């Protein structure tokens, strides 16, 4: 284990990232957007702005392109809650340590559970053998900004995340069916994306997809030969263009 390993994840720049995604839809090329981001971030130090720009890009523009899902969702829906649902998935997909803490240590807890500082420290100690101030602060801040906890003066309290139905529908298309096709529920459930959204149980995923079928957002939800599967109705781009919601 290297001495720098506890710094494997940086402080989540949540508000800066939200603004960056909203601003990105005004640009025609990625290079211009990146240059703008380096100048527009609120930090005084140019060195810090460059470093933070790299982080925002790694989390939300990993292919160095403006054609990313959060920007598409914002352009279509202009819905802050939905945008942040999608961003929650994108960030956790890029930060496996934070994702592990969320999926293995926070989601199993009931809403309202008090989580003291030792809970975070024990996770980092088990992970790295040591607890350092910066990773501890970054982990606490990340799970707060992502909506998994809120804080009082002493403790973190597990938050009840509103069921992200539309985000689940969008990400199902994004990950599995960019064009209309049939996908098994087993394949969907075995992917962790729904946990990144804050959904706790596979049964909730199934209920959301059954609702999508009932509302005509997908073509089928069937059980055939003991295999549960869905058939999508739209391409991802068409789903977004129509602003389909659940």
For residues 11 and 63, membership in a common domain is answered with: yes
In eight-state DSSP terms, residue 110 is P
Q: Note the pLDDT of residue 8.
A: 62
Q: Note the pLDDT of residue 177.
A: 85
Long-range contacts of 228-232 (CB under 8 A, 24+ apart): 228/184, 228/185, 228/186, 229/182, 229/183, 229/184, 229/185, 230/172, 230/182, 230/183, 230/185, 230/188, 231/180, 231/181, 231/182, 231/183, 232/172, 232/173, 232/177, 232/180, 232/181, 232/182, 232/183
| 3 confidence band (pLDDT: 50, 70, 90) | very low
Helix (H, G, I), strand (E, B) or coil at 220: strand
- Domain boundary among the residues 36, 51, 80 is at 80
Evaluate if residue 31 carries a pLDDT over 70.
yes
Residue that has been written with the tokens 């403006």 in this structure: 66
CA distance 73 to 83: 6
Task: Give this prediction's pTM.
Answer: 0.89
Residue 186 lies in a domain: yes
Residue 88 lies in a domain: no
The domain in which residue 62 lies consists of: 5-80
Q: What is the pLDDT of residues 165-190, one digit of tens each?
A: 999 999 999 999 878 899 999 999 99
For residues 56 and 119, membership in a common domain is answered with: no
Residue 182 lies in a domain: yes
15 contacts: CB under 8 Å, gap ≥ 6: none
Q: What is the pLDDT of residues 65-80, one digit of tens each?
A: 999 999 999 999 999 9
pLDDT: which is higher, 133 or 60 = 60
| 6 confidence band (pLDDT: 50, 70, 90) | very low
Counting the structural domains of the chain, the total is 3
In angstroms, the Cα distances linking 238 to 66, 170, 172, 180 are 18, 11, 14, 10
Q: What is the pLDDT of residues 134-161, one digit of tens each?
A: 888 899 999 999 999 988 777 789 998 8
Asked if 60 contacts 90 with a C-beta cutoff of 8 angstroms, the reply is yes
Mean pLDDT of 41-47: 87
Residue 246 lies in a domain: no
Q: How far apart are the first and last CA of the chain?
A: 45
In eight-state DSSP terms, residue 6 is G
């Amino acid at each position: 284990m290297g001495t720098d390993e506890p710094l494997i994840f940086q402080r989540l720049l949540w508000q800066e990232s939200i603004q960056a995604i909203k601003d990105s839809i005004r640009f025609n090329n990625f290079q211009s957007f990146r240059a703008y981001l380096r100048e527009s971030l609120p930090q005084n130090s140019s060195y810090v702005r460059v470093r933070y720009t790299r982080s925002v890009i790694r989390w939300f523009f990993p292919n160095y392109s403006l054609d990313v899902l959060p920007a598409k969702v914002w352009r279509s829906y202009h819905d802050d809650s939905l945008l942040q649902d999608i961003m929650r998935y994108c960030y956790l997909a890029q930060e496996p340590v934070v994702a592990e803490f969320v999926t293995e240590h926070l989601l199993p807890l009931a809403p309202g559970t008090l989580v003291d500082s030792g809970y975070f420290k024990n996770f980092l100690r088990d992970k790295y053998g040591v607890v350092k101030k910066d990773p501890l602060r970054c982990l606490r801040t990340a799970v707060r900004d992502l909506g998994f906890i809120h804080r009082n003066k002493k403790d973190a309290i597990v938050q009840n995340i509103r069921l992200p139905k539309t985000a689940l529908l969008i990400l199902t298309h994004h990950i599995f069916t960019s064009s209309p096709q049939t996908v098994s529920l087993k394949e969907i459930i075995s992917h962790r994306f729904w946990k990144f959204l804050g959904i706790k149980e596979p049964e909730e995923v199934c209920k959301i997809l059954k609702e999508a079928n009932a509302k005509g957002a997908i073509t089928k939800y069937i059980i055939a030969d003991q295999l549960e599967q869905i058939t999508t109705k739209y391409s991802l781009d068409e789903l977004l263009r129509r602003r389909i919601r659940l």
